[in-house]
Amino acid sequence: MKFFVDTADIDDIKEMAATGLLDGVTTNPSLIAKSGRDFMEVTKEICGLTDGPVSAEVVALDHETMMKEAEVLRKIADNVCIKVPLTIDGLKTCKALTNDGTMVNVTLCFSANQALLAAKAGATFVSPFVGRHDDNGFDGMELIEDIRLIYDNYDFETEILVASIRHATHVLQSAKIGADVATMPPAVIKALFKHVLTDKGIEGFMADWAKTGQTILR
């Protein structure tokens, strides 16, 4: 499973990239607004921090303007992945961009039928929002299972990019189902490292080592 970080905070991205475990970055208008920085400037800086895809979202709702915005965005860097909403105009834009060799992330997916349409439009990634799905009384993981089954049935190349991840269990369940990518806030990625028994084990090892009075660096 690929790990993307879902943020526009440069310091957080640098920290995650330093682990060697980061495969890409996703952003959206809300995250860009939270950063308080210029959209083009911060996107360019993010693209320089990872070799993986960096999702940059169009804000237009009609196909013609989406294409114009995408033309500007994809000139930022070779690893820009154009993010479009799962609408008729969004999928029309997806098809046109994909045919032109541009990576596309179709976002705001909330049903398996929508994911099927995204795959037929040639999306590089489809982003089902599991946390928001759960918030509205649905089962986010059941959605991932349905999409995985459909994509496997027809050998679609579109990758399932699980979004709106709220906690480590979402990551575990997504991996067990066979999702291709999980995009997470930095706090969730850090939570994956944590286990009380690991902490206790380190504490015990350090206490025993201190008793020896030895040092490795001399």
**Residue 82 bridge partners (DSSP):** 56, 104
**Contact present, 81 and 53 (Cβ < 8 Å):** yes
31 residue type, one letter: L
**Residue 5 bridge partners (DSSP):** 25, 184
Q: What DSSP string runs through 48-100?
A: TT-SS-EEEE----SHHHHHHHHHHHTTS-TTEEEEEESSHHHHHHHHHHHHT
Q: How far apart are CA 32 and CA 36, in angstroms?
A: 7
Which of 34, 83, 95, 200 is labelled catalytic? 83
83 is catalytic: yes
Residue 132, token pair as written in the block = 């928001």
Catalytic residue annotation: 83
